[in-house]
Amino acid sequence: MASNWVGRISSFSAGPSFFLSGTSADSFLAELLRELRDDRASYSVKLVCLVSWIHISCVSPPQVLLLSPLCEHPTRLCRSETVGEETAMELMSVFINCPPKSVQFRCHLLLALTSVLVCSGCVNNCSRASQDFLELLLQIAQDTSDLQGDVALRSLRATACDCLRELEACSPGLLSQHLELLGGLRHREASWIHQAYAGLQTLVLRNAVYQLTRETEGGAEHLKALLGGNTPVAWEAEQDSSPANIRDSTVLSSLILGPLGTIPTLQTGPDCKELRSVLSSLLEDSYLLTPLCQAALLHRLTEVVAMLPGVPPVIFRAQLLRLLGTSELCLFHTTLLMKGAFTDSLFSAEDESFLLKRLVLLSQHPLLSTPEKLFYMDCILHFPENRPIGFGDETLPVLLTPALASALAPTVFDDSDAMLARLNLLSLVYLEEEEEEEEQVEWGGEEGRGVAYLYEHLASLLRIVDNGGSRETAVTFFRSAFLFLFHFHHVERFSDGLTGQLGGLYLRHTHLAPHLINLADRTQEKLPHSGWAVGLLKALQGVITGAPLPEIPSPDLHRHLKVLARVAEEGEIPQQSTLRFLSSIVTASCTPPGVSGAWRLGNGLLGVCRHLLVHPSLDSLLLPLADVLLHIARRYGDTDIQDHARLYYTLLTTLSREKLAGVLAQGRNEGGGQVKLRTLSSIMAEGEGLTNAITIHQAEEAVLELIQSQPEETPTEGKLKREEMESAPPEAASTLEAYRGQFDAPGFAANVTLNYRLTHLGAGDPRFHQIFSICLHFSLTDDHYEDLSNVSVPCLFRDRPPPRVTLTLKPRRPRPTALHASAVFTAQDGLTWFTPLPDVRVAFQQVFRAPPTPPDWGPVRIRSLFEGLWDRITRESEEEEGAASDCSTSLFCCQLTPAALVAVVTRHFLPFLVSDPSDEELRVFLFLPPRSHLLLKIRSEEDAAHFSIATDTWSLLTHMNSHLLDITSSQENTQL
């Protein structure tokens, strides 16, 4: 038994969706619960199945657990609140019947119960199962019998506390009526479980106070009632402050992390002895907790005091001595949060100075890891001052002087991330100092020496890159250069010096061209009013055009052309030297071997020419540019490059400047002529437009959806005439044999046709109001059906009726399923787009078909077929009971009046009805391709409506039962 479950649950955990495609979630869940209830399986076997899935790889041989699907994937198995509640009741029954000595098994049962109730929504909706489970957890938490017995039993109480904390965290205010009980349990507990009680009480106290702040009449009396109350578990219908009503983003997050003044408050007055007593007791016990638990407790208590103006923050004063000197990162972070919440109400100026000095010290401590150092430096940038004078993402504290911050000066030996963080921090320090003393234009003070040091550090990095540094070093250097320029681009002697050094660096290492172009782009983007990026590009143009052409290797020449194309985008930079460089390349009599006919080189030349065609100074460049293009068009060794050059030459010599700029503006204009612009731009240099045109673009949101259309009514005139022509009904046996003989033909009645309408989803993007050449692609989520072929739709216009889409499914097994859908289409701008569609759900009833009888069979013969098939299924199910048989019978009962029963049949089964609607016993004949049948005899009894079911595929009974439950439940609700 255990080995069988090992394989099954291993498959489920490896791929839940794929596993459930071969079975239903309800049946798999039922098997799991049945196995857990099975008394024949020893608890040692079940314990093997209750090791956490995370540790499976560490257990030899591999052991799988029965509860792991419920702990890890509760939403896949309990897909509704009803299923979740039923599952929880079953698990609680297993827990109650489990012997006390099976502690580990019971602990995992509690965890599984918590996962099921929380994820299925039973806790928020106050279901009966969640009430019973809460009572069970509180009973376990109060059971101290393990103090005199087995110590291992304490783990059950610890697990119960963890489950209670999870329930309270997911449904704040759930345990607010049990604060006194939780406080008493914490006081009485002397073992390691004391920590769990303390954390639970703190969370409940925080949520209870927050809940009172949300009530208009909340005050000191309500708080005293909560602190002294211990009511039974019950959700009163008239209670305004139910847990479900306060589930918002604020209560589930930290209150003291937001802006000052946004914390809700509760006015309790100066006299709140009960609350102070609870807070003092919790703070005294905090010494006994682990650092992480201490941090969580102090964080929650800080939120409580912040919400209660009547409780002074000095209640934390006794904790500050150890918190200010702690080496635990989590406790130090909590101290900063506390400072941000209370400022000078709790922290003196000396405390503030000491905290800042500690941050500076820890940011450079050699024994700390880089992530820890980065954390402390980030704390400096967001330091909560007692009296802040400014707000922003990164505002330095006033006490961080250049002398204090000099300890964080970056060095080339620092880690890359730490170096950048230090450089950014020091830049902010010296920038702020410069703003305060603007009269020191020459930077003669200490801050001037600081900026000079940063520039020297940048020069040191440049020398390392120049001497063959790694790619990581190069990236770090350019990021450092950007940071330096971002803060000090206005200091000309440093920014100009950096420009000159970068030009020399590029000439020696042309592979850095992408980094230099990116530096210029980002600097221009972040500093639009600065001319440094233009100056850098102009310097690069000078070093490139001044180099002797015969000495330039082929790879360097390609990179030079890339840089020159970027330089040509700047209208402020004269381009005469660039044109002379291009002319020397195309007219040189001695071109390097292998370059003359290279397509890549020609493409680079055309890329520069194309940018020159739209340059503001085109009039002065007209003749030399035309000479370059004409020379390429006539004498270049690559036909494709010649054709492009000829096009450019034609455009240059025949179009005005305005028209030329319009033709080359790739997609900048929006309007009716965009298709032509896109077509012309598709043949531009470097394949920019062509690449854009042939790329399939991803739509940001879903554009289309498929909506099921109503099936057309099947005419019944022919059937009525055939019924009039039939005289005596034929024998049922011969009719059945004739009917079954049809299925010998391959592919007979094997398909299911579904009709949909393709429509736009929502308001949508105006670009997609008219789309063309739509190709719909469908992929299966299980193996119940054969693969679907693509469906083509010519066009879809928002202002026209949606086109019909017909899906032809070929079932392997008639089951409900879902299809993943996507579409590729062409928009008005000529671009091709891809968009996912919402999944297409195929319900079980959509597979229903009338039996595929011959065309000349009338209703009388179909009724004879029904009787023959019913008798055969019934006989085979009785004869082969206990053996492997697909035939089976079942009975479904429900509370429906005779009129309601007729309404259900008329609404859902009328096309498949083979008896007269006025008969006492109604008969429904369903065919499910490829060759399954469901036969129903429906009648109204004194106590209930009976649906007798016979099928030749027993696995369909589960789905049929669910379908009948849905349609009869809706009818019962209508009756009510």
- The rounded mean pLDDT for the chain is 83
**Phi, psi for residue 760 in degrees, rounded to 5:** -75, 145
Residue 446 has pLDDT above 60, yes or no: no
* Coil vs helix vs strand at 25: helix
Predicted confidence band of residue 232 (pLDDT cuts 50, 70, 90): very low
User: pLDDT digits over 76-113, tens only?
Assistant: 888 888 899 999 999 999 899 888 888 888 898 999 99
Q: Buried b / exposed e across 423-453, counting CB within 10 Å, b at 16+?
A: bbbbbbbbbbbbeeeeeeeebeeebbebbee
Predicted confidence band of residue 721 (pLDDT cuts 50, 70, 90): very low
**Residue 263 DSSP label:** S
Residue 711 has pLDDT above 70, yes or no: no
**Residue 840 DSSP label:** E
Determine the residue type at 367. Answer: L
Output the pLDDT for position 676: 39
Question: What CA–CA distance (Å, rounded) separates 162 from 170?
Answer: 12
Average pLDDT over residues 489-508: 93
Residue 345 has pLDDT above 80, yes or no: yes
The enclosing H or E element of 888 equals strand 888-894
Q: Buried b / exposed e across 392-401, counting CB within 10 Å, b at 16+?
A: eeebbbbebe
Whole-prediction pTM: 0.66
Half-sphere exposure in the Cβ direction for 352 (13 Å, CA)? 20
Picking from 464, 377, 353, 447, the residue whose alpha carbon sits closest to that of residue 413 is 464
CA distances to 99, 533, 920 from 901, in Å:
48, 80, 11
Q: Which residue matches tokens 């039996």?
A: 851
User: pLDDT digits over 631-651, tens only?
Assistant: 998 888 888 888 889 999 998
Output the pLDDT for position 103: 84
Q: Which residue matches tokens 């299966």?
A: 780
Least confident range from 237-246, 443-452, 493-502, 621-630: namely 237-246
Quote the tokens at residue 727: 């005289």
Question: What CA–CA distance (Å, rounded) separates 71 from 530?
Answer: 58
User: pLDDT digits over 173-221, tens only?
Assistant: 899 889 889 999 999 888 888 999 999 999 999 999 998 888 877 677 7
Q: Which residue matches tokens 């209870």?
A: 208
Predicted confidence band of residue 725 (pLDDT cuts 50, 70, 90): very low
Least confident range from 318-327, 394-403, 450-459, 567-576: namely 394-403
Start-to-end Cα distance in the chain: 47
Q: Which residue matches tokens 């390392």?
A: 464
**Phi, psi for residue 883 in degrees, rounded to 5:** -100, 175
Question: What CA–CA distance (Å, rounded) separates 952 from 136?
Answer: 46
Average pLDDT over residues 436-465: 74
Give ∠ CA 677-680-684 in degrees, rounded to 5. 125
The enclosing H or E element of 904 equals helix 898-908
User: pLDDT digits over 765-790, tens only?
Assistant: 888 999 999 999 999 988 889 999 99
- CB within 8 Å of 515: residues ≥ 6 apart: 474, 475, 478
Pairs from 228-235 (Cβ < 8 Å, separation ≥ 24)? 228/180, 228/274, 229/177, 229/179, 229/180, 230/177, 230/178, 230/180, 230/181, 231/177, 231/178, 233/131, 233/134, 233/135, 233/138, 234/131, 235/126, 235/131
Output the pLDDT for position 233: 43
Determine the residue type at 119. Answer: C
Residue 597 has pLDDT above 60, yes or no: no
Instruction: Report yes or no: 760 and 704 within 8 Å, Cβ to Cβ.
Output: yes
Quote the tokens at residue 723: 């019924």
Output the pLDDT for position 241: 41
Determine the residue type at 366. Answer: P
Quote the tokens at residue 898: 């005779």
Picking from 508, 512, 536, 511, the residue whose alpha carbon sits closest to that of residue 522 is 536
Instruction: Report yes or no: 936 and 884 within 8 Å, Cβ to Cβ.
Output: no
* Coil vs helix vs strand at 50: coil
Picking from 935, 928, 931, 929, the residue whose alpha carbon sits closest to that of residue 950 is 935
Question: What CA–CA distance (Å, rounded) separates 195 from 213?
Answer: 28
Quote the tokens at residue 502: 């970068």
Quote the tokens at residue 253: 């997050």
Question: What CA–CA distance (Å, rounded) separates 593 from 576?
Answer: 27
Rg (CA), the chain: 39
* Coil vs helix vs strand at 753: strand
Output the pLDDT for position 60: 29
Average pLDDT over residues 128-134: 91
Output the pLDDT for position 876: 87
Picking from 47, 33, 52, the residue whose alpha carbon sits closest to that of residue 92 is 33
Output the pLDDT for position 689: 52
Quote the tokens at residue 181: 């009980």
Picking from 809, 806, 810, 812, the residue whose alpha carbon sits closest to that of residue 793 is 806
User: pLDDT digits over 865-922, tens only?
Assistant: 999 999 999 988 887 655 557 889 999 999 888 888 999 999 999 999 998 888 889 9
